[in-house]
Structure 1
């Protein structure tokens, strides 16, 4: 079982809530804090999430499926699922070069 902790990251006017224990990913508007989107099914095994605040893109590492999911923080839609090799765990974003680094 994964450790229980929540990560809150400001994404423009949205609030990104990632609940690691349940393996769910939801984006909620601060205006309607009680309303949230249904979990994105491709993120059930996500372990690490990084945000590029310049491009408003969210990147989630999925170790079990060996890929990274790219989400548009504005539209809250999955843009791509990128294969990255085995067990992607650590990630970092360079906002100047608009590159995301993934440690597998």
Structure 2
């Protein structure tokens, strides 16, 4: 008999495997694209530096707001929670920027 915890573990594993399979399928399809399908990206490359500066400004404002919130919160529990949120946010920003390469 399968318990509910084992059932949720199986469901999570199947969802993870499905997501991995979908990512592999998308990567395989992207590798098979001919070069002429990527010509529509050429006009956007001219504005790439403009958007890079806006991203730098946005990330600077996010970091400044996080540091100010960390200074305001004096309770150790609140600071620990803000540090975790900052780590999650920082990691997600890094993942987003690495996916743009």
> Smaller-chain TM-score range?
under 0.3
* Structure of higher CA gyration radius: 2
Greater fraction strand: 1
Q: TM-score, normalised by structure 1?
A: 0.19
**Larger relative contact order (C-alpha < 8 A, sep ≥ 6)?**
1
